[in-house]
Amino acid sequence: MDIIARFSKILTNTTYPESKQTWNIAGVLPNSNEFLKFDVRDMHKINEEQIGKKVTLNNKVDKIVFEAQDQWIILDQKEFNMYLIKNKQKVIQLNELINNLDWTKIISKEL
């Protein structure tokens, strides 16, 4: 099962793009009524010691999703962009983002 199929299990009212888009799936998160578009892609090896995810600043998505072993980490795209620009960084550790962004949701895979 791919990452999009795994993430879809926590959403309701899911839809998928009809053509190639910067978002992979849209839907409603648990305990929410807001319909959002998500960038849900696997992380890949950046170098011998790190895995990561390339995120484009001008994505037409609402949220960026990272998959951990037992949870989903969801970040706000606009806040993510502002943080990158403000800090003039191209590579940022996920823990740094979790600790410094206001809109971060961590959802257990065991709902």
Give the number of domains in the chain.
Answer: 1
The confidence band for 111, taking pLDDT boundaries of 50, 70 and 90, is low
| Chain centroid to CA 65 | 2
Residue 110 has pLDDT above 80, yes or no: no
Q: How many Å from the N-terminal Cα to the C-terminal Cα in the chain?
A: 18
pLDDT tens-place string over residues 58-107: 778 999 999 999 999 999 999 998 998 898 887 788 889 999 999 999 99
Rounded to an integer, what distance in angstroms lies between the CA atom of residue 74 and that of residue 54? 15
Task: Tell me the residue type at 8.
Answer: S
Dihedral sign, Cα of residue 65, residue 69, residue 71, residue 73:
negative
Q: How many CA atoms lie within 13 A of 106 on its CB side?
A: 11
104: containing domain: 3-108
